[in-house]
Structure 1
């Protein structure tokens, strides 16, 4: 591809999106650039504080449990209070709890604050996704979600590298830097982002049912999608929980795992935008079927890996699945969500990933200890196949996306804060 063609492709990928989206995108990028704590938490607890690996695992589980709790709470807040107030509360709470985590020393206090960090940090996700759906035109949403996912991975790649250098200097500095950058995100939201929650219709039809968590849970097709998302998420989680254990058991050094998994972040940064241009207007059902199969069999091929190079090749396969799945799945969730229930629907969807983060480590450890890593990779192939078949059956008829003209006007920020 020539330089001119590359520039034109880049312009087409980023053009046409509203200014509010780019401020939200900037907030996401800054937030991920400062995400140091999750990277070095285990090292901080075991090396700096001298706790056992079991205790570090407990703290990580409590952090994940906090995310499970706030997935639903954050979705309800986004619909009731508004997207902007939810983001401000979540990001401010995250900054304060992360800073506090750097100062507490008692093991019970560390575990409790880690739970609060997980709860506060995850509460913003439904609001971010709901706001993005509010402000971006339906035909541009796949592209917008893809760009946001690209920012997440770019920020994580940079913060992961920076975390090692910061940890060598001071773990406390890492906590305070993350707290400061999260506050910057809150400032960006406060100054640059208006409330985007659609106004409730002034005259409701007789048949209109208010959206509650019960409404979401009774939506069988949507909950089917959430269940399939959970299966795919469990598979993807093996890249960070099953793969390092399996490589370590096979005699590979931590540096070997680092080299193999680095391919994941590199490919996402390089390929996310061009791949999105290819999939943007294609059938989401087929994309989800294909990505589920690629994820399952990408991890399944790991059973035949005997060198770092082959491990890296398998990472390439399931990373391509991740690139296709992430924006397509988020766009599908929006298309299945009623306008005035986006926060709750996004919260339940976020819950599927939070639960997967809890289940995947337990599953991988049990399977590897009981039967060996080969069985884990075979199980991933089975789960990916089941998810692909499920998408094919469940999503035969996708609902039509509501036209932009049918959306209710936006609630002013001052009014939303008192809603």
Structure 2
């Protein structure tokens, strides 16, 4: 037991202090954006918007995310990751507070678009910051630590948010969101200085071609859009399956989704450290993670036994723990000596696109063809993503010869 305990904490060793600080800032930021999980409830209960109007508002949410990711890449390449992150945190703190005041449909569409645009400017910049502050051999684990902070933030945020709504109402939620974003921005300015980075500034902001001109990287991004498309079903359409087909209660669904976060917290860092010690490529690991995610949809179609959904959740969790860190690491390494902001923006945009189209498409498939057909479709898409990644791996091998 002690050996296991030591092995777990050893998986966190060797990471620079700046990466820990960046993770702490990310934790505060992500825990602070607690208004997001309650957005649909706020819009329907407090603002009396119809479900159709809420759907359109959430589309503007996704569009803002795409715009912010693109703009974040541009700004990171132009002024650097430090100023971009600080600006995003401080300006979004003001916009989160102001978001409580729009009362009309179009007013809220514009408001949520602006909030997400500014907030998601942070995403490409934080990825570039990982590249700047971490040693090359520790990049994947550094990404994993940031992911751990994000997962902890998203786990704590809704619980804290629910308490705030119960005691101070939705208005209090917007104020807390704004204050936490501002606190994260101040911590960034006080604790994390660009002079502490390993890479020189000229290595981070370079005059080179953008990611869109890198054909192999574009193939990778297309595969990530497909992977994101199938992965997000677990947080939109899959809960409907749990409820309608297996008759799980909201509490039981919450426990099942909570298992995902708990396993990531306990196992992801040791798993990544173990896999990094093996002589396999990042693309090979992304293929494995994508395949496991696809298989998670296949297995739940094989039997009506309710216990199979636990196996499905285990498979998608392991797939997620492998695919996300190594895909992120691949993007960071591919951007070395190039416009890193552009590369990481495109990586972030891949998942923003998945959010725009994935939820609605999954709902439409279920409505027209049912759950079984939809899960088989997701498995087929996973195989398509794996084929694209296998082709990418083959071309990369030839590129390095």
- Corresponding residue number in structure 2 for 1:320: 318
Are 1:186 and 2:190 an aligned pair? no
Deviates more, 1:358-367 or 1:297-306: 297-306
Residues 305 and 293 (structure 1 numbering): CA distance in 2 closer, same or farther, change over 3 Å?
same
Kindly report the root-mean-square deviation, in angstroms, between the aligned alpha carbons of the 2 structures: 2.0
From 238, 263, 271, the equivalent of 1:267 is: 263
Instruction: Determine if the alignment matches structure 1 residue 200 to structure 2 residue 196.
Output: no
> 1:162: Cα distance to partner?
2.1
Note closer, same or farther for the CA distance 1:148–1:40 as it changes in structure 2 (3 Å cut).
same
Cross-structure match for 2:170: 171
Equivalent residues in 2 for 1:224-263 (5 A)? 224-250=219-245, 251-263=247-259
The reply to whether residue 51 of structure 1 matches residue 49 of structure 2 is: yes
The match for 2:116 is: 118
Measured after TM superposition, the shift of residue 384 of structure 1 is: 1.0
User: What is the TM-score with the length of structure 1 in the denominator?
Assistant: 0.88
Aligned-residue offset at 1:375: 1.1
Check if 1:287 corresponds to 2:282. no
How far apart are residue 397 of structure 1 and its match? 5.9
Match of 2:308 among 304, 307, 310: 310
Q: Which residue of 2 aligns with 1:378?
A: 376
1:367 deviates by 0.8
Relative to structure 1, the CA distance from residue 135 to residue 343 in structure 2 (aligned partners, 3 Å threshold; closer, same or farther) is same
SS at match of 1:279: helix
CA gap 1:177/1:151 in 2 versus in 1, 3 angstroms: same
1:127-173: per-residue Cα shift (whole Å, max 9, x none)? 00001011111111111111111111111111122222222221111
Give the conservation status (yes or no) of the 8 Å contact 1:301–1:377. no
Paired position in structure 1 for 2:361: 363
SS of the aligned residue for 1:14 comes to coil
Greater alpha carbon shift after TM alignment, 7-16 vs 313-322? 7-16
1:391 alignment counterpart? 389
Gaps of 5+ in 2: none
The answer to whether the 8 Å contact 2:86/2:185 transfers is yes
Name the counterpart of 2:70.
72
Q: What is the SS of the residue equivalent to 2:301?
A: helix
- How much has 1:340 moved relative to structure 2? 4.3
Matches of 1:292 and 1:152 in 2, distance apart?
Answer: 21
Q: CA deviation at 1:247?
A: 3.2
Q: Does 1:211 align with 2:204?
A: no
| 1:256 to partner: Cα distance | 3.6
Contact 1:79 1:344 in 2 (8 A): yes
Q: Deviations over 1:229-248 (max 9, x none)?
A: 11111111101122123334
Q: Shift of the alpha carbon at 1:308?
A: 5.1
Q: CA–CA distance in 2 between the matches of 1:397 and 1:389?
A: 12
* Alpha-carbon separation, structure 2, partners of 1:396 and 1:67: 32
Structure 1 residues 321 and 230, CA, compared in 2 at 3 Å: closer, same or farther? same
Does the 8 Å contact 2:294/2:382 carry over to 1? yes
- Report the TM-score, using the length of structure 2 for normalisation: 0.92
CA distance in 1, matches of 2:396, 2:139: 16
CA contact (8 A) 2:131 2:139 kept: yes
Q: Which runs of 5 or more residues in structure 1 are unaligned?
A: 202-208, 401-419
Moved more, 390-399 or 377-386: 390-399
